[in-house]
Amino acid sequence: MSFKVLSAKLAAAADQELMSTGGFSIDQLMELAGLAVAEATHKSFPLLKDVLVLVGPGNNGGDGLVAARHLKLWGYNPSIYYPKHSSKPLFQNLETQLKNLDIEFISSLNAINNYQLIIDSIFGFSFKPQGGIRPPFNEVIQTVNKTSIPILSVDIPSGWDVDDGFVEGGLRNPDVLVSLTAPKPVANHISEKTQHYVGGRFIGPKFAKKYGIDQYDYRGYDQVLKLSKI
Amino acid sequence: MSFKVLSAKLAAAADQELMSTGGFSIDQLMELAGLAVAEATHKSFPLLKDVLVLVGPGNNGGDGLVAARHLKLWGYNPSIYYPKHSSKPLFQNLETQLKNLDIEFISSLNAINNYQLIIDSIFGFSFKPQGGIRPPFNEVIQTVNKTSIPILSVDIPSGWDVDDGFVEGGLRNPDVLVSLTAPKPVANHISEKTQHYVGGRFIGPKFAKKYGIDQYDYRGYDQVLKLSKI
């Protein structure tokens, strides 16, 4: 079975609708998205504490910053690599929250092998691989690819094409993919071995129907659901 | 044992600090507070689905609105009684989110006995009982007190004095109290039978120490912890 997916165009429209007629602020949505990422991390790697969060310049990066905060409060030890800071107030505030928790912002990846897990929140569904991956993220991805550290990717594996999957220069296949709102087409191109979670428990049945996505059968108060390809 | 508590004055200062040097927006904090309330509801009453949320005009009411959204998405059937709408954009947006999920806003409490559970998010720690409880909330509370429906109170039982506890005209003793950030002094005045949860998993050790409150031993990815008086 393949996943019902949300194209990049529809994903952008869905985000836009959530934040206009949906009444959500980006603060709320990012909080819930980041929480979903943190929960998927906890479910997938309950024993790994030293987490490196690779943060890109856009909203995908913001999801990673929120996830790092939750993980720290849950007893993990996240460090942040965030080479292209956003100057938007929301992002600066997320940085403040992390610094108040004594979360380390590292300035190079020289010690990458000290980490047990990498959270890839570099690029999201709006990344276009046609122009290549701009520095420093091209090198960041190559540095990660030289390691065997497990990777959890936020929404799409960074550097991949949202529709067609892996592109030369992109991240190696992640161990875990956390699709936000709903899987993107790229989810049907990841390895069968990749654990796939969906985190979109902020949308209701009418919204799911309008966008042609599944209403997932989340459990209890979980913000994520592990999907199966079977 | 009694709970280490946060006085009303310190609770206001803590909120203020979280939203200034803490870098949190009210959207984020309310989202996490409402999520904690919803989780405590799920843990306390997993089988009760028809929930009436009584929403006051301030931030305590906003926590209830957020909780109602999560509960609906978790399979509950919440209805909202919200006689004094806030005109603040955040609150109007929370209403929009609920209406998009087809959550009913009821205009009277005539059918109160149809509900299995009442969430009391009328007044929070800044309520002062000296001036009496203003309409329509005085009557709302008396209407609730004539029922035997279980009550879950958000942060403090409505109409009570945050320091001294029950005041004539206040809500009957709640079955569950969800203290947000940390217990207020009123938590030491509730019945021994009341289940008491704390939901403050957005603050770190330094912050807790500064305000003289406990760093609670939350589990897994829970946003709440059940406290014991033993």
ipTM over 0.85: yes
The answer to whether residue B230 scores a pLDDT higher than 70 is: no
Tokens 């909120």, located at residue: B15
Walk along chain A (230 residues) and give the pLDDT tens digit of each residue.
578 899 999 999 999 999 999 999 999 999 999 999 999 999 999 999 999 999 999 999 999 999 999 999 999 999 999 999 999 999 999 999 999 999 999 999 999 999 999 999 999 999 999 989 999 999 999 999 999 999 999 999 999 999 999 999 999 999 999 999 999 999 999 999 999 999 999 999 999 999 999 999 999 999 999 998 64
- pTM, full prediction: 0.97
- Distance CA(A116)–CA(A112), nearest Å, equals 9
Nearest residue on chain B to A202, judged by CA atoms? B73
Task: Look at residue B124 in the predicted model and tell me its pLDDT.
Answer: 97
The answer to whether residue B224 scores a pLDDT higher than 70 is: yes
A59 labeled part of a ligand binding site: yes
User: In angstroms, what separates the C-alpha of A162 from chain B's closest C-alpha?
Assistant: 28
Token readout for B219 is 């589990």
Task: Look at residue A140 in the predicted model and tell me its pLDDT.
Answer: 98
Q: In what order do the strands lie in the sheet with B225-227?
A: B104-106, B77-81, B50-55, B117-121, B151-154, B176-180, B195-199, B225-227
Report the amino acid identity of residue A69.
R
The answer to whether residue B1 scores a pLDDT higher than 60 is: no
Give alpha helix (H) positions in A3-105. 8-19, 26-44, 59-73, 89-100
Task: Look at residue B228 in the predicted model and tell me its pLDDT.
Answer: 83
Q: Which residues pair with B78 in a beta bridge?
A: B51
Q: Which residues pair with A79 in a beta bridge?
A: A52, A104
Task: Look at residue B3 in the predicted model and tell me its pLDDT.
Answer: 81
Backbone angles phi, psi at A39, to 5 degrees: -65, -40
Q: Using CB atoms, which residue from B101, B207, B221 is nearest to A204?
A: B101
Task: Look at residue B36 in the predicted model and tell me its pLDDT.
Answer: 98
Q: How many CB contacts within 8 angstroms connect chain A with chain B? A: 87
Q: Sorting pLDDT into bands at 50, 70 and 90, what band is B229? A: low
User: In angstroms, what separates the C-alpha of B165 from chain A's closest C-alpha?
Assistant: 31
Q: Is the peptide bond before B46 cis (omega within 30 degrees of 0)?
A: no
User: Do residues B126 and A230 touch, judged by C-beta distance below 8 A?
Assistant: no
Backbone angles phi, psi at B5, to 5 degrees: -125, 165
Nearest residue on chain A to B208, judged by CA atoms? A101
CATH of the domain spanning A8-215, picked from 3.40.50.300, 3.40.50.10260, 3.30.70.890, 2.30.31.20 = 3.40.50.10260
Which residues does B contribute to its contact with A (CB < 8 Å)? 21-25, 27-28, 31-32, 35, 38-39, 42, 70, 72-74, 90, 92-97, 100-102, 201-202, 204, 206-207, 218, 220-221
Environment class of A222 (CB within 10 Å of its CB; exposed 0-12, middle 13-18, buried 19+): middle
Task: Look at residue A1 in the predicted model and tell me its pLDDT.
Answer: 53
Is the CB of B94 less than 8 angstroms away from the CB of A23?
yes
What tens digit of pLDDT does each residue of B63-75 get?
999 999 999 999 9
What tens digit of pLDDT does each residue of B117-175 get?
999 999 999 999 998 999 999 999 999 999 999 999 999 999 999 999 999 999 999 99
Task: Look at residue A3 in the predicted model and tell me its pLDDT.
Answer: 81
- Distance CA(B69)–CA(B77), nearest Å, equals 10
B77 labeled part of a ligand binding site: no
SS in 3 state form for B66-97?
Answer: HHHHHHHHCCCEEEEECCCCCCCHHHHHHHHH
Token readout for B49 is 């689905």
Domain ranges of chain A: 8-215
Category of A204 on φ-ψ map: left (φ > 0), alpha (ψ -120 to 50) or beta: beta
Q: Using CB atoms, which residue from B23, B204, B221 is nearest to A93?
A: B23
**Residues sharing a CB contact under 8 Å with residue A178, sequence separation 6 or more, in sequence order:** A36, A37, A40, A152, A153, A154, A155, A197, A198, A199, A224
* Chain B residues within an 8 Å CB radius of A181: none
